[in-house]
Amino acid sequence: MSLVIRPAEPGDGAAIHAMVEALAKSHGEQEHFTAVAADYETALFAPGTMIGAFIAVYGGVPAGCAIWHRSFSTFRGKETLYLEDLSVLPAFRRRGIARALLGAMAGLALSRGVPAISWLMMPWNDAARKLYIEAGAEIEEGVCLCRLHGPALERLAT
Protein backbone atom coordinates (compact mmCIF):
# COMPACT_ATOMS: atom_id res chain seq x y z
CA MET A 1 0.00 0.00 0.00
CA SER A 2 1.20 3.51 -0.76
CA LEU A 3 2.09 5.92 2.05
CA VAL A 4 2.21 9.66 1.40
CA ILE A 5 2.97 12.28 4.07
CA ARG A 6 1.70 15.74 3.15
CA PRO A 7 1.01 19.02 4.97
CA ALA A 8 -2.57 19.46 6.19
CA GLU A 9 -4.89 21.28 3.79
CA PRO A 10 -8.21 23.08 4.30
CA GLY A 11 -10.83 20.36 4.63
CA ASP A 12 -8.63 18.06 6.74
CA GLY A 13 -10.30 19.18 9.99
CA ALA A 14 -12.67 16.20 10.20
CA ALA A 15 -9.87 13.67 9.61
CA ILE A 16 -7.68 15.39 12.22
CA HIS A 17 -10.59 15.41 14.66
CA ALA A 18 -11.03 11.64 14.26
CA MET A 19 -7.31 11.06 14.80
CA VAL A 20 -7.02 13.23 17.91
CA GLU A 21 -10.16 11.55 19.25
CA ALA A 22 -8.52 8.14 18.73
CA LEU A 23 -5.49 9.40 20.64
CA ALA A 24 -7.65 10.76 23.48
CA LYS A 25 -9.40 7.36 23.71
CA SER A 26 -6.18 5.37 23.79
CA HIS A 27 -4.97 7.67 26.61
CA GLY A 28 -8.27 7.40 28.57
CA GLU A 29 -8.70 11.15 28.20
CA GLN A 30 -12.03 11.37 26.39
CA GLU A 31 -13.50 13.69 29.01
CA HIS A 32 -10.85 16.30 28.19
CA PHE A 33 -11.43 16.06 24.44
CA THR A 34 -13.77 18.93 23.64
CA ALA A 35 -12.45 20.09 20.24
CA VAL A 36 -14.66 20.08 17.15
CA ALA A 37 -13.41 19.68 13.58
CA ALA A 38 -13.83 23.38 12.82
CA ASP A 39 -11.38 24.26 15.64
CA TYR A 40 -8.55 22.64 13.66
CA GLU A 41 -9.53 24.35 10.42
CA THR A 42 -9.58 27.69 12.22
CA ALA A 43 -6.30 27.21 14.06
CA LEU A 44 -4.32 25.66 11.20
CA PHE A 45 -5.17 28.23 8.58
CA ALA A 46 -5.51 31.45 10.59
CA PRO A 47 -3.21 34.35 9.63
CA GLY A 48 -0.13 34.23 11.84
CA THR A 49 -0.84 30.67 12.94
CA MET A 50 1.92 29.01 14.91
CA ILE A 51 0.66 25.46 14.46
CA GLY A 52 0.77 23.03 11.57
CA ALA A 53 0.09 19.39 10.78
CA PHE A 54 1.16 16.56 8.53
CA ILE A 55 -1.36 14.02 7.29
CA ALA A 56 -0.34 10.43 6.53
CA VAL A 57 -2.39 9.08 3.63
CA TYR A 58 -2.20 5.28 3.42
CA GLY A 59 -3.73 3.60 0.39
CA GLY A 60 -5.58 6.83 -0.35
CA VAL A 61 -7.08 7.11 3.16
CA PRO A 62 -6.07 9.55 5.96
CA ALA A 63 -4.50 7.22 8.51
CA GLY A 64 -2.51 9.41 10.88
CA CYS A 65 -1.28 12.88 11.64
CA ALA A 66 1.39 14.87 13.41
CA ILE A 67 0.26 18.19 14.87
CA TRP A 68 3.02 20.59 15.86
CA HIS A 69 3.48 24.13 17.04
CA ARG A 70 6.37 26.55 17.13
CA SER A 71 8.18 26.54 20.44
CA PHE A 72 11.18 28.26 22.01
CA SER A 73 14.07 26.96 24.07
CA THR A 74 15.28 29.54 26.59
CA PHE A 75 18.45 27.49 27.19
CA ARG A 76 19.33 27.52 23.48
CA GLY A 77 17.85 30.96 22.86
CA LYS A 78 16.38 29.58 19.66
CA GLU A 79 13.01 28.68 18.25
CA THR A 80 12.29 24.93 18.27
CA LEU A 81 9.36 22.71 17.28
CA TYR A 82 6.97 21.02 19.68
CA LEU A 83 5.13 17.89 18.57
CA GLU A 84 1.75 18.14 20.27
CA ASP A 85 0.20 14.94 18.89
CA LEU A 86 1.36 11.99 16.84
CA SER A 87 -1.66 9.82 16.10
CA VAL A 88 -2.23 6.80 13.87
CA LEU A 89 -5.75 5.38 13.64
CA PRO A 90 -5.93 1.92 15.30
CA ALA A 91 -6.65 0.10 12.01
CA PHE A 92 -3.44 1.47 10.48
CA ARG A 93 -0.92 0.84 13.25
CA ARG A 94 2.29 -1.25 12.81
CA ARG A 95 2.83 -0.07 9.24
CA GLY A 96 5.63 2.47 9.81
CA ILE A 97 3.25 5.42 9.61
CA ALA A 98 4.29 7.03 12.90
CA ARG A 99 7.94 6.70 11.93
CA ALA A 100 7.24 8.36 8.58
CA LEU A 101 5.43 11.22 10.32
CA LEU A 102 8.43 11.69 12.64
CA GLY A 103 10.67 11.79 9.57
CA ALA A 104 8.54 14.56 8.09
CA MET A 105 8.77 16.48 11.38
CA ALA A 106 12.56 16.13 11.32
CA GLY A 107 12.63 17.37 7.72
CA LEU A 108 10.49 20.36 8.70
CA ALA A 109 12.88 21.21 11.56
CA LEU A 110 15.88 21.13 9.24
CA SER A 111 14.11 23.20 6.58
CA ARG A 112 13.29 25.84 9.20
CA GLY A 113 16.80 25.83 10.69
CA VAL A 114 15.35 24.64 13.98
CA PRO A 115 17.79 22.66 16.15
CA ALA A 116 15.38 20.43 18.07
CA ILE A 117 11.94 18.86 18.31
CA SER A 118 10.47 18.11 21.73
CA TRP A 119 7.31 16.34 22.87
CA LEU A 120 5.79 14.55 25.85
CA MET A 121 5.18 10.84 26.20
CA MET A 122 3.16 8.96 28.79
CA PRO A 123 5.43 6.54 30.70
CA TRP A 124 3.18 3.51 30.02
CA ASN A 125 3.24 3.94 26.24
CA ASP A 126 5.66 1.15 25.33
CA ALA A 127 4.96 1.25 21.59
CA ALA A 128 5.72 4.97 21.48
CA ARG A 129 8.82 4.52 23.63
CA LYS A 130 10.20 1.87 21.25
CA LEU A 131 9.60 4.10 18.23
CA TYR A 132 11.21 7.16 19.85
CA ILE A 133 14.28 5.28 21.07
CA GLU A 134 14.78 3.76 17.61
CA ALA A 135 14.49 7.27 16.16
CA GLY A 136 17.34 8.43 18.41
CA ALA A 137 15.30 10.61 20.77
CA GLU A 138 16.52 11.40 24.29
CA ILE A 139 13.92 10.59 26.92
CA GLU A 140 13.88 12.34 30.30
CA GLU A 141 11.73 10.39 32.76
CA GLY A 142 9.64 11.57 35.67
CA VAL A 143 8.86 15.14 34.66
CA CYS A 144 5.72 16.82 36.05
CA LEU A 145 3.21 18.49 33.74
CA CYS A 146 1.44 21.40 35.44
CA ARG A 147 -1.78 23.02 34.26
CA LEU A 148 -3.69 26.03 35.49
CA HIS A 149 -7.21 26.58 34.16
CA GLY A 150 -10.80 27.30 35.14
CA PRO A 151 -11.54 28.98 38.49
CA ALA A 152 -7.91 28.62 39.67
CA LEU A 153 -6.73 30.63 36.66
CA GLU A 154 -9.33 33.33 37.31
CA ARG A 155 -8.49 33.53 41.02
CA LEU A 156 -4.79 33.95 40.33
CA ALA A 157 -5.06 36.59 37.62
CA THR A 158 -3.74 40.06 38.39
Residues 54 and 64: their CA atoms lie apart, in Å, by 8
Q: Of 24, 88, 97, 98, which one interacts with a second copy (CB under 8 A)?
A: 24
Q: Which of residues 126-155 bind a second copy (CB under 8 A)?
A: 129, 132, 135-155
110 contacts 143 by C-beta, under 8 angstroms = no
Q: Based on CB atoms, which residue is closest to a second copy, 92 or 119?
A: 119
How many residues touch a second copy (CB under 8 A)? 74
Q: Which of residues 69-108 bind a second copy (CB under 8 A)?
A: 69-79, 82, 84-85, 100, 102-104, 106-107
Q: Is 158 in the site for a second copy (CB under 8 A)?
A: yes
Residues 78 and 104: their CA atoms lie apart, in Å, by 21
